[in-house]
Amino acid sequence: MRMKSALAAAAVIALAAGCGSGGSGGGQAEPGEPVKLTFLSLAWQKESLAANKQLVEEWNKANAGIQVTYVQGSWDNVNDQLVTQFAGGTAPDVIHNDSPALSGFAADGYLLDLSGRLPADLKADIPRPAWDTVTFGDGKGGQGVYGVPFLQESQVVIANRKLLDASGVRLPTPDNPWTWDEFAEAARKMTKDGVFGVAWPMKSPVNKTLNLALNFGGTFFRTAGGRTTVKVGPEEKQVLQRIHDQLYKDRSADPAALGQGTADPLPAFYKGEFAMLPAGVYLRQQVAEQAPDGFEWVTLPPLKGTTTQQGAVSQTLSIARDSKHPDEAMKFIAFFLNGPNQARLAKGDWLLPTSVKAASDPAITTKENGWDVATASAKDLVVAPFLRVNGFDEWKSKVATPVLQEFYSNKISIDEAARRLVADGDKVLERYQR
């Protein structure tokens, strides 16, 4: 999931100032005074910021007895900041984060288990697979729900409509998506006259690779006897090999994009230097806003291997365990994440709502800007296997990122990549076994 922010340094100052007095360490409200909550938001896009702030304003106008202070945070440093605040008893009452971060905070006792506090209508409106992304061990042998999942991301394919039509390939639909073989064939057909069929920006390759690996049942981790180890077998190698083949066998993938971040190839995309860009659904916003006049593009549904499943990571709202006002915080979350409001948040962030009611909202089922295809892709999301792996972040940064970068750059073989992912990875995970 995206973790970008403008003005990160300013956000750190705002976060520290905003949470120092009104959060979980703020004490009880005086008689006759409203309960005061702090809400840490990580919204960063213009539309998303506006939606978040407007919802807080609407809540405050309608709830004089429970007033919420909006605090701007940054994806760039939120978890380091929260560690300090949790330890100091100054964490915000309501915390915006993403599901991979919740496991460690839950095990350390910093987040409130919401299992017995969720309103029935909110719980019923969000499907079980989304709740699975926020259900973790409590560090004492039990399980709990440590956040309310509300936005998710799927991987789709954004394509140049003119080049797509000229190739004569079948246009995929959510009910009849391309297989990976059809995708490879389409990329080959569109590779001609100096134009590449596809671009794979792999500066940060891990989440994209692991989430797409589920197309072939690749999980990269297995747990047996209470111990988790890294697994790179035939299922995990499928997507690795197919991307590598496009780069070095078919030569249908633009090598210039390989070391770039997800959005970096867009200028070349607009110029027609390549035809297709696999990306998260949120990237549609930049294409819609930045593409030159006359540029026609289309959103294609997720690819299919043996399945169309992809790993899901959720954006979440949690309550600090030390919050003095957990009941009021839950009331605010229930309002903030009801169906209509989730639709507003999803529209602002160009992501997928977890709410069933929100997913039927006309604003995010329209054909305009590929919303119909994007929203339909939510059915393909399942809990990402790595969400429950203690030590995943270290494995990702110290092992998987450099190994996959070397593999996609054709510096090591797939067998060597698999060996290092497992051998070096298991050494990392060993330190986290409980």
> Which H/E stretch holds residue 317?
strand 314-319
What CA–CA distance (Å, rounded) separates 235 from 154?
Answer: 20
Helix-helix angle 206-213:401-408, to 10 degrees? 80
Tell me which of 222 and 225 has the higher pLDDT.
222
What is the pLDDT, as a whole number, of residue 28? 58
153 pLDDT higher than 60: yes
11 pLDDT higher than 70: no
To the question of domain 155-311+387-430 being in CATH 3.90.1150.10, the answer is: no
List C-alpha distances in Å: 77 to 9, 234, 296: 9, 36, 37
CA angle (80, 85, 91) in 5-degree steps = 120
What is the pLDDT, as a whole number, of residue 312? 85
CA angle (287, 408, 414) in 5-degree steps = 140
Kindly state the tokens that stand for 254.
Answer: 């633009």
Arithmetic mean of pLDDT, 124-142: 86
134 pLDDT higher than 70: yes
What is the pLDDT, as a whole number, of residue 416? 98
CA angle (260, 394, 93) in 5-degree steps = 95
pLDDT-based confidence at 29, cuts 50/70/90? Answer: low
For domain 8-153+313-354, give its CATH number from 3.40.50.720, 3.40.630.40, 3.40.120.10, 3.40.190.10. Answer: 3.40.190.10
Q: What is the mean pLDDT of the chain?
A: 91
Residue extent(s) of CATH 3.40.190.10 domains in the chain: 8-153+313-354, 155-311+387-430
pLDDT-based confidence at 142, cuts 50/70/90? Answer: confident
The model carries a pTM of 0.86
Kindly state the tokens that stand for 248.
Answer: 């070095």
CB atoms within 10 A of CB 237: 18
pLDDT-based confidence at 7, cuts 50/70/90? Answer: very low
366 pLDDT higher than 90: yes
What is the pLDDT, as a whole number, of residue 18? 44
DSSP-H helix ranges across 119-233: 120-125, 128-132, 161-167, 180-189, 206-213
What is the pLDDT, as a whole number, of residue 3? 39
Q: Which among 432, 399, 402, 26 has a CA at the least distance from the CA of 220?
A: 399
pLDDT-based confidence at 12, cuts 50/70/90? Answer: very low
What CA–CA distance (Å, rounded) separates 412 from 417?
Answer: 7
Query: Residue holding tokens 């409130």?
Result: 112
> Based on the number of CB atoms within 10 Å of its own CB, is 434 exposed (0-12), middle (13-18) or buried (19 or more)?
exposed
Kindly state the tokens that stand for 378.
Answer: 């939510």
What is the pLDDT, as a whole number, of residue 434? 67
Kindly state the tokens that stand for 329.
Answer: 């915080």
What CA–CA distance (Å, rounded) separates 309 from 190?
Answer: 26
What is the pLDDT, as a whole number, of residue 27? 52
Q: Which of 30-44, 53-67, 307-321, 364-378 has the lowest mean pLDDT?
A: 30-44
pLDDT in tens, 374-393: 999 998 999 888 888 888 88
pLDDT in tens, 343-362: 999 999 999 999 999 999 99
Q: Which of 135-144, 185-194, 351-360 has the lowest mean pLDDT?
A: 135-144
124 pLDDT higher than 80: yes
Give Cβ neighbours of residue 222 (< 8 Å, ≥ 6 apart). Answer: 228, 229, 231
What is the pLDDT, as a whole number, of residue 19? 46
